[in-house]
């Protein structure tokens, strides 16, 4: 099997706050989030895209400030979702979401950066109703976001190959799907027409799981069988030394 190399890296909305001691959902202070993005951008040798959730602000002005700040931190792409965080109105209405998308694009253009915007719609996650109607609404929003300047469309919550294939046919732009147990292989997703796969918080959760298992073993049996696997201290140090030299 040929070994692929990542051409970019993306932060996860869950992974960064978990690593900083906060729950997901824009509870992490924006400055702490930006500091984490800056540290990632400093040490990797490929473009970085940052999941800014809903933009760390309800107003277009606040969203634009976040976009400018994340560019200053070294990112050249963002995830931008249409969730509000308000259970009474879980999604921005479409017109408002498009104004917010335009504000993000304008902020990037003012900074002279051709920012890659991955526009996420949470229709399938936060609305209830007949599944086909929800899929149609997700596609309608995704197409509107593409027409409004988004580079990639992210209908979060697609379930299975049939829904993915339907989304590819219905959405007139590159689409992103997210990892979940049982998701098709990269090759199969490519065959279905998917342009991008997000691993979401799965890698962070896996690391947390392994850490917990180590602690449980040490505290319960006093043994350390899970330690010493994977990246060595020397390799980790060399990776960081290489980052410092760039």
Same domain? 24 vs 142 = yes
How far is it, in rounded angstroms, from Cα 49 to Cα 90?
Answer: 25
C-alpha R_g of the chain: 19
Total number of residues shown for the chain = 246
Same domain? 74 vs 100 = yes
Helices (H), 148-226: 160-170, 186-192, 202-221
pLDDT in tens, 141-166: 999 999 999 999 999 999 999 999 99
How far is it, in rounded angstroms, from Cα 160 to Cα 169?
Answer: 15
At 2 the pLDDT is: 55
Q: How far is CA 227 from CA 80, 95, 239, in A?
A: 38, 52, 20
Share of the chain above pLDDT 70, in %: 97
Same domain? 96 vs 189 = yes
What is the pTM for the complete model shown? 0.93
For residue 4, how many other CB atoms are within 10 A of its CB? Answer: 7
Average pLDDT of every residue of the chain = 94
Same domain? 162 vs 228 = no
116 is a domain residue: yes
How far is it, in rounded angstroms, from Cα 101 to Cα 205?
Answer: 30
At 1 the pLDDT is: 44
Closest CA to 137 of 119, 152, 151, 124: 124
Same domain? 232 vs 147 = no
Q: Which helix (H) or strand (E) holds 19?
A: helix 15-20
Q: Which domain holds residue 222?
A: 201-246
Helix, coil or strand: residue 51: strand
pLDDT in tens, 196-227: 999 999 999 999 999 999 999 999 999 999 99
| Mean pLDDT, residues 176-195 | 95
Same domain? 144 vs 233 = no
Same domain? 195 vs 206 = no
DSSP letter for 5, please: -
pLDDT in tens, 93-148: 999 999 999 999 999 999 999 999 999 999 999 999 999 999 999 999 999 999 99
Helices (H), 73-185: 94-110, 123-126, 131-147, 160-170
């Amino acid at each position: 099997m040929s070994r692929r190399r990542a051409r970019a890296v993306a932060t996860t909305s869950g992974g960064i706050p978990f690593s900083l001691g906060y729950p997901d959902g824009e509870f992490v202070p924006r400055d702490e989030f930006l500091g984490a993005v800056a540290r990632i951008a400093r040490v990797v040798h490929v473009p970085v895209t940052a999941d800014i959730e809903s933009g760390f602000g309800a107003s277009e002005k606040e969203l634009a400030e976040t976009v400018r700040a994340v560019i200053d931190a070294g990112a050249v792409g963002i995830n931008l979702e249409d969730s509000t965080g308000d259970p009474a109105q879980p999604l921005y209405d479409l017109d408002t979401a498009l104004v917010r998308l335009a504000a993000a694009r304008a902020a990037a253009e003012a900074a002279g950066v051709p920012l890659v915007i991955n526009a996420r719609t949470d229709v399938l996650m936060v609305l209830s109703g007949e599944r086909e109607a929800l899929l149609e609404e997700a596609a309608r929003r995704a197409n509107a976001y593409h027409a409004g300047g988004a580079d990639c469309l992210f209908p979060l919550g697609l379930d299975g190959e049939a829904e993915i294939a339907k989304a590819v046919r219905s959405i007139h732009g590159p689409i992103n799907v997210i990892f979940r147990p049982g998701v098709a292989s990269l090759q199969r997703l490519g065959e279905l027409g998917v342009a991008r796969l997000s691993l979401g918080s799965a890698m962070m959760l896996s690391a947390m799981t392994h850490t917990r298992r180590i602690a449980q073993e040490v505290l319960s049996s006093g043994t350390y069988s899970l330690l010493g696997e994977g990246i060595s201290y020397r390799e980790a140090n060399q990776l960081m030394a290489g980052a410092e030299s760039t």
